[in-house]
Amino acid sequence: MDKHRGPEIPQAGGHPSREDSQPDRGWRLSFLFERRRPLLWTIFISFAIVGLQMVQGILLAQLLKPEGRGEYATAVFWSQFLSYIGLFGGIEIVCRYATAVDVDRLKLRRSAFRLGIVTGLISTAAALVGAILLLPEAKRDLIPLASLCGLSVLAQNVILILTGVDRGAGDFYRYNLRRLFSSAALPTLILLAWACQPISVGLACVLFVVASYLTMIFCLVGVDRPWSGEGAVPVGRLLHESQPYAWSMLAAELFERLDVFLILMLAEFSRQGDYAAMIPVVYPLMIIPNNLGVFLFNDAANRQGTLSRAGFHRTLGLLVGVQSLSTLIFLGVAQPLIVFLYGTAFAPAVSIAWWLAPAAAMKGIVQALESFLRGRGRPQAAILSRMVGAAVMLVVGLALFPSWNVLAVALAACVGQAICTLWVAWIVDQDLAGSSPPTRSLKG
């Protein structure tokens, strides 16, 4: 293998050759043990991670109250907004390289680290610009804290791109361990600080940045000579090849964070705090499709097998059923659960959660399907659907906000996600209809 060229990775729209597509007699048994067990284990870990995120959300809500929670949401907005957009598609391209059987994973991790540093520096600069120039006039007192939080973007870029290596390599032990540490870092620091002194918005922002860099250091454990060691692929090559994924990620993140941006610009701190507090409440509704998306990406990027059209129909039907049932259960328990966990100060936020729940359920489905398209080398296939969904969301949110306030934005998110869900499902179906005969489906 040419060390300067890097390993061969599946090209856009690539499918198995006739020789590769011969049925594997032992596939059903290997699929059972090699795919479903890691999927179930990853879902289990994801529930634990979401539990930690909810603990973090509850702590911040209880300690900062609605107005303080809104101030914190304002301070971290640009850093969170750019944590994925600022990857410039790096996580997907690194993940695709990691699926190659002949790649040196240590060298690839070095390349991933360096890519994360480059994209992180660019994204940090963008976060600082956003914090200084793009906060609404009534919230500009938070520019110093928003600028501080912007410094975390570099660490977040490195963390996320490194997990791309683990995902593509199928090293789900390392992948889940890093995710678990990342999710536990901030709530642990908040609890430790709370034991010593009251938690203010400023202290919460400091802990946010510290947690990011502690996680980055943890993710580098075992990566020998990250700066000076030989990499698998030059950073310039990775940046060039990641461009299609960068546009896809930009469209996805603009669409998925548009509701939070509208709340930032239109709502006062207390209502912004209500909205921000309800976002982690609906995270459990995205766990199953998000984790399925990891395996869909790997399956699509692997030359040895792709999802069949019939398998897609069965999988999509099952996923829609699970998401619908989960949403109905959530709607039934949301009010007493939120009041119990967050306190009566957040009782007005329950109605927000009712609208955010179906939006989150559909968002999970869209993310899973788009992961499959990215794995097949078609990262830009869903961009138009995202743009149309965002336009509809913007129109609905702005039109209803004077009378519905923040509920208008949550309703707009539902409408936009519904459009994207139907559209992206159709794109995947048509893509599979025109593909060469696959070797296997998710359902076998």
The reply to whether 270 and 196 lie within a common domain is: no
- At residue 25, φ and ψ (nearest 5 deg) are -60, -30
Which token pair is 182? 């990342």
Asked whether residue 357 is domain-assigned, the answer is yes
Cα separation, 311 vs 259, in Å, equals 33
| Residue 405, pLDDT above cutoff 90 | yes
Return the amino acid letter for 345. Answer: A
Q: Are residues 170 and 272 in the same domain?
A: no
Residues 234 and 280 in one domain: no
What is the pLDDT at residue 15? 37
Q: Mark whether 273 and 306 lie in a shared domain.
A: yes
Residue 55 within a domain? yes
C-alpha–C-alpha distance, residues 407 and 434, integer Å: 41
Q: Are residues 289 and 234 in the same domain?
A: no
Token pair in block for residue 133 = 């120039």
Number of domains in the chain: 2
> What is the chain's mean pLDDT, rounded?
86
The CA dihedral of 366, 367, 370, 376, to the nearest 10 degrees, is: -140
For residue range 122-162, list pLDDT tens digits in order.
Answer: 999 999 999 999 999 999 999 999 999 999 999 999 999 99
Residue where a domain stops, chosen among 221, 241, 261: 241
Does 348 map to a domain? yes
Range of the domain at 155: 28-241
Question: For the residues 332-340, what does the mean pLDDT come to?
Answer: 93
Both 215 and 277 in one domain: the answer is: no
Q: Give the C-alpha distances (Å, rounded to integers) separating 337 from 6, 59, 323.
A: 51, 15, 19
Residue 23 domain flag: no
The answer on 188 and 49 residing in a single domain is yes
Q: How confident is the model at residue 305 (pLDDT cuts 50, 70, 90)?
A: low
Read off the tokens for 42.
Answer: 């990853």
Residue 431: pLDDT band with limits 50, 70, 90: confident
Q: 311 lies in a domain?
A: yes
Residues 134, 174: one domain?
A: yes
For residue 9, tell me if it sits in a domain.
no
Q: Are residues 333 and 212 in the same domain?
A: no
Q: What is the number of residues in the chain?
A: 444
Q: Which of 199, 215, 241 is the last residue of a domain?
A: 241
Tokens found for residue 278: 């309800």
Q: Does residue 198 fall inside a structural domain?
A: yes
Query: 332: alpha, beta or left, given left = phi > 0 and alpha = psi -120 to 50?
Result: alpha
Residue 21, pLDDT above cutoff 70: no
pLDDT tens digits for 344-384?
999 999 999 999 999 999 999 999 999 888 888 888 888 99
229 domain-assigned? yes
Q: Are residues 237 and 258 in the same domain?
A: no
Tokens of 196: 């010593």
Q: Is the pLDDT of residue 9 over 60?
A: no
Last residue of a domain, one of 241, 262, 295: 241
- Asked whether residue 138 falls in the same domain as residue 256, the answer is no
Mean pLDDT of all residues in 238-263: 91
Q: Is the pLDDT of residue 7 over 90?
A: no
Q: Which residue has the higher pLDDT, 416 or 2?
A: 416
pLDDT, position 18: 32
Query: Does the pLDDT at position 2 exceed 50?
Result: no
pLDDT of residue 108: 92
Token reading at 56: 């973090």
Same structural domain for residues 229 and 111? yes
